[in-house]
Amino acid sequence: MSRRKRGKHPNVTHQNDTSTLSSASVPLGSPPVLEPGHTFASVTDKISSIVLTRKTSRGWIFGFAVSFTLMMAFMYATAYLFARGIGIWGTTIPVGWAFPIVNFVWWIGIGHAGTLISAVLLLLHQEWRTSINRFAEAMTLFAVSCAGLFPLIHMGRPWVFYWMLPYPNTMDLWPNFRSPLVWDVFAVSTYFTVSILFWYMGLIPDMATLRDRTKSRIGQIVYGMMALGWRGSAAHWQRYEVAYLLMAGLATPLVVSVHSIVGMDFASGIVPGWHTAFSPPFFVAGAIFSGFAMVMTLMIPLRSIYGLEDFVTLRHLDNMAKVILATGSMMFYGYSAELFFAYYSGNEYERYVAINRILGPYGWSYWALIACNVLVPQLFWSERMRRNIPVLFAVSLIVNVGMWLERFIIVIVSLHRDFLPSSWRMYYPTVWDFTHLIGSIGLFFTLLFLFVRLLPVISIFELRSLVHETDEEA
Amino acid sequence: MGLPTSPESLYGLLAEFEQPDDVLEAARKAYAAGYRQMNAYTPFSVEGLSQALGQKPTRLPWLVLLGGIVGGGAAYFMLYYACVISYPLNVGGRPLHSWPSFIPITFEMTVLGAAFAAFFGMLALNGLPHPNHPLFEVPAFSLASRNRFFLCIQVRDPLFQLEQTRRFLEGMTPRVHEVQP
């Protein structure tokens, strides 16, 4: 699809020497990707003012304080964990992978939307991504940070985490490279590194903008250093665009590989309910589903608090709702396929796991999952619902819960009753399990609050480019 | 911008434009007039500007390819060395060189190598980080990251003649700044 065809602005006129988009009568059914009336200067000033001139609001301080407190609870729980060992959690045989792994998979899935929005939609010339990609990338980074902590603290002896890495050592040992768990180490650390590089690369021209706009000396020094001396020369831009496009091309298969490998962590185990070849694509679809839901959960309050409705328009929310609907339907297909495979395998253990998920002691979680992930997103067939902000917000929260439940079902419900009834046992999380889960949400929001306050939440230079393109269309 | 100075003590002349199309037009004219040591500075990537200035397409894609090959090759070598030479482990008689299980790590390291090459290659070819530059001394240049478009013809261009070049640039825009070195 041509990028010119997207984001149409009818009745756009030139106003003397500045590239202004005058008020446009937007046709019903297709809100613009950028509200009309913006110039290069206005988008620059609007976004950079959030960081540079806006006073720190009470709401920000309150939100940051709450998140920071939760993060401290996470730190406290982690200190206690290191002192006492993982026995403080409800994790016990046969449920050897419990909340930490559920949280790990949940967070890493959330992270996937960021890369998808910034890389895949860039390659597909979906220019509506411009206003949300920076934020989504930051979200990826913070979600992957939260995700990465869980396997580390789950190791029992986290101080020897580096044993997972191949390095010359006096023990003359190597990690078991045939294990998906070792693949995971490589996948998650590569994903984290590439996400940082991609995000920082996108920030460089905006750091130059902030360096040139800020009045404070400290700001000039800090933003100046982060801009690395960016001058925006034609030669810079040419290499920059090539690098950005190549990074997007690299990130696209990477994002698919990361959650596929997470899927293989399960698929290569012999536990009934895990041992299925369709885990990798199923996990990837679920990751996109939960990631878009999280972007929506965060974007809806952000755009109204910082007055970004001109940039994050109903069009964005509408498109994200469509992605949630599509991936939610894929999840439904996945759940149906799972049941069919269990039936068709002829394997009594597989069949039992399927029945146990639905009717067993954790059956409530299965029905809640179906309600959250399959039924509720069906609201988005209606255009009115896709434009209704409270509905969007509520659905996005429900999907986040649903996806957490899905991982709960995959990890815990599969493990608690495997082959031998004599080893069956119920799993009960402890207060520390919940502290780590809620605390990691605190860590995520602490990082997000800092990001929103200190760095531009929307890519300024890409918005200028968008102004130029929509201007040219007229 | 200050007193007129001799060409030797200048970095170049900087012309300021308000529209991306104007700087594109100016770049084409300057190239047609024979200027080569020049560059344009814009708040976002202007399509065709680099070609108009006669800049060659970047070699960055080759660097990225190289980075990917080095990353993937090194990873596969490491896996082979660990599993076959350094620590051969017989698991149920399966082959030591079990290449399908080497693919995920090889793939991840390929992407990592290529991404490093793309990021650091872009910075290196652009000569960044380069915190200070004569252009930053021109007050108007701070708008290059907001809404102004600049074309700078450098003194080291063989055709550069202070008065003549200034007249040439002033023929296109009223705002021409001198850039001190």
- Please write the tens of the pLDDT for every residue from B11-45: 888 888 888 888 888 888 888 888 888 888 888 88
Check if the beta carbon of residue A260 is closer than 8 Å to that of residue A283: yes
Q: Report the distance separating Cα A421 and Cα A347, nearest Å.
A: 16
DSSP letter (8 states) at residue A82: H
Rounded to a whole number, what is the distance in Å from the CA of A44 to chain B's nearest CA? 6
Q: Please give the torsion angle defined by the CA atoms of residues A39, A40, A42 and A44, in that order, rounded to the nearest 10 degrees.
A: 160
Q: Does A236 sit within 8 Å of B49, measured CB to CB?
A: no
Q: Does A237 sit within 8 Å of B146, measured CB to CB?
A: no
Task: For residue A243, give the nearest of B19, B60, B130 by CB distance.
Answer: B60
Asked if residue A25 is part of any domain, the answer here is: no
Check if the beta carbon of residue A88 is closer than 8 Å to that of residue A430: yes
Residue found under tokens 């992978």: A97
Residue in B45, B50, B87, B99 to test binding to A, most A beta-carbons within 10 Å: B45
Query: How high is the pLDDT of residue B57?
Result: 86
Backbone angles phi, psi at B97, to 5 degrees: -85, 70
Q: Hey, is the C-beta of A277 within 8 angstroms of any chain B C-beta?
A: no
In the β-sheet with B176-179, what is the strand arrangement from edge to edge? Answer: B38-41, B149-154, B12-17, B176-179
Residue in A44, A115, A177, A222 to test binding to B, most B beta-carbons within 10 Å: A177
Task: For residue B129, give the nearest of A212, A229, A264 by CB distance.
Answer: A229
Asked if residue A256 is part of any domain, the answer here is: yes
Q: Hey, is the C-beta of A264 within 8 angstroms of any chain B C-beta?
A: yes
Residue found under tokens 């991504």: A129
**How confident is the model over A292-339, as pLDDT tens digits?**
899 899 889 888 888 788 888 888 889 889 999 999 999 999 999 989
Closest CA to B133 of B15, B11, B1, B6: B11
Q: Does A186 sit within 8 Å of B104, measured CB to CB?
A: yes
Residue found under tokens 């190791």: A155
Q: Please report the domains of chain B, with CATH numbers, ordered by start residue.
A: 7-56+134-179 (3.30.70), 60-125 (no CATH)
Other beta carbons within 10 Å of B126: 24
Average pLDDT estimate for B129-142: 83
pLDDT bucket at B8, cuts 50 / 70 / 90: low
Asked if residue A393 is part of any domain, the answer here is: yes
Rounded to a whole number, what is the distance in Å from the CA of A465 to chain B's nearest CA? 6
DSSP letter (8 states) at residue B176: E
Average pLDDT estimate for B111-129: 92
From B132, which residue of chain A is nearest by alpha-carbon distance?
A229
Check if the beta carbon of residue A144 is closer than 8 Å to that of residue A108: yes
Average pLDDT estimate for B116-138: 88
Asked if residue A123 is part of any domain, the answer here is: yes
Task: For residue B43, give the nearest of A229, A232, A247 by CB distance.
Answer: A232
Q: Report the distance separating Cα A220 and Cα A80, nearest Å.
A: 42
Q: Hey, is the C-beta of A335 within 8 angstroms of any chain B C-beta?
A: no
Q: Does B87 sit within 8 Å of A224, measured CB to CB?
A: no
Query: How high is the pLDDT of residue A29?
Result: 54
Check if the beta carbon of residue A127 is closer than 8 Å to that of residue A470: no
Check if the beta carbon of residue B37 is closer than 8 Å to that of residue B10: no
Q: Hey, is the C-beta of A219 within 8 angstroms of any chain B C-beta?
A: no
Low-confidence ranges of chain A (pLDDT < 50): 1-28
Q: Does A44 sit within 8 Å of B43, measured CB to CB?
A: yes
- A-chain CB neighbours of B42 within 8 Å are 232, 234, 237
- B-chain CB neighbours of A167 within 8 Å are none
Average pLDDT estimate for B116-130: 90
**How confident is the model over A333-381, as pLDDT tens digits?**
999 998 999 899 888 999 999 999 999 999 999 999 999 999 999 999 9
CATH, residue A378: 1.20.1630.10
Q: Does A237 sit within 8 Å of B122, measured CB to CB?
A: no
pLDDT bucket at B6, cuts 50 / 70 / 90: low
* Element of type H or E holding B151: strand B149-154
Query: How high is the pLDDT of residue A30?
Result: 66
Average pLDDT estimate for B69-96: 91
Q: Hey, is the C-beta of A18 within 8 angstroms of any chain B C-beta?
A: yes
* Domain count for chain A: 1
Asked if residue A24 is part of any domain, the answer here is: no
Q: Does B131 sit within 8 Å of A212, measured CB to CB?
A: no
Asked if residue A157 is part of any domain, the answer here is: yes
User: Angle at Cα A208 formed by Cα A206 and Cα A214, nearest 5°?
Assistant: 95
From A251, which residue of chain B is nearest by alpha-carbon distance?
B111
Rounded to a whole number, what is the distance in Å from the CA of B168 to chain A's nearest CA? 21
The whole domain housing A276 covers 58-459
**How confident is the model over A35-56, as pLDDT tens digits?**
777 788 788 878 888 777 777 7
Check if the beta carbon of residue B72 is closer than 8 Å to that of residue B110: yes
Size of interface A-B (CB pairs under 8 A): 189
Asked if residue A4 is part of any domain, the answer here is: no
| pTM recorded for the entire structure | 0.87
Task: For residue A234, give the nearest of B50, B78, B118 by CB distance.
Answer: B50
Other beta carbons within 10 Å of B129: 13
Closest CA to A462 of A141, A132, A238: A132
Residue found under tokens 């907001």: B146
Query: How high is the pLDDT of residue B172?
Result: 79
Q: What is the ipTM of this complex?
A: 0.89
Check if the beta carbon of residue A247 is closer than 8 Å to that of residue A119: yes
- A-chain CB neighbours of B26 within 8 Å are none
